[in-house]
Amino acid sequence: MKLAGSHILITGASGGIGSCLALELCRRGARLALAGRDPGRLDGLVRAIANAGGAASALPFDLERPDGHAALVDRAADVLGGIDALVNGAGQSRLTAFIEEDAASLRSLLAVNLTAPVLLTRAVLPHLLRRGAGSIVNVGSVFGAIGFPYYAAYSASKFALRGFSEALRRELSDSGIKVIYVAPRATLTGMNGPAARALMRETGAAMDRPETVAATIADALANDRQDVCIGMPERFFTRLNALLPGFVDGSLIKQGRVAARHLSAAKAAE
């Protein structure tokens, strides 16, 4: 997909990977509609993009809402003068014991990580099908291929998003529309709290800067790469887990025990 001159809607643009991706796509000449729940941060990002010579519009929206997703897509198409791509970049992540998850938190995580991308994709498809071209980018996680202890709900949402992307890609194979799934590994954003960062440090897990992840997503969109897993060790481990899940159980169970220890330490410090 040619990024220069393209019209793209990004969710999760008010922070983390999303704001970095907005700046990256702006540098590559895209015109953007930015959806997020923090109007102040969106307005600041719009100003930063304008100062860099780009064009973007802020569309505040809470993805946990049960409705309004189609209206958001229509608003984006109106302000952009059309829509070429949707990037489902918003997400929630929590390191916690599943038994301690409350119902409201689970609904919130699943709404943002899975329900909203599915509803937004359904809403954007008529716009793309009329053109016979366009892209849908779903930002998943390496935990969408590896079920990680103490990330049970998050892993479930990302496994589902990966399956949705794979199925829809096959369904749209004759339409001219690309469905791209990008799986980052651990990223240095506010979603990873002290316990998660301590876990990553102790286990030696790599953590990427959000700018690096944003550049990878932009490259995937520009080059129509359908399935991208960031990190060579992570790519190997996801394939090993798919072929021989029992073989990796021991390693992940040990890492789960490390996670439990850091969660206990974080609780004690509160």
Task: Please give the positions annotated as active site.
Answer: 154
Q: Tokens at residue 118, please?
A: 């599915």
| CB-based contact 182:228 (threshold 8 Å) | yes
**Which H or E element spans position 56?**
strand 55-60
Q: Based on the number of CB atoms within 10 Å of its own CB, is 137 exposed (0-12), middle (13-18) or buried (19 or more)? A: buried
Report the alpha-carbon distance of residue 113 to residue 202 in Å, rounded: 27
Q: Which amino acid makes up residue 200?
A: M
Q: Tokens at residue 6, please?
A: 């393209």
Report the alpha-carbon distance of residue 89 to residue 189 in Å, rounded: 13
| CB-based contact 31:78 (threshold 8 Å) | no
> CA 134, 169, 118, 208: dihedral to nearest 10 degrees?
-80
Q: Which amino acid makes up residue 101?
A: E
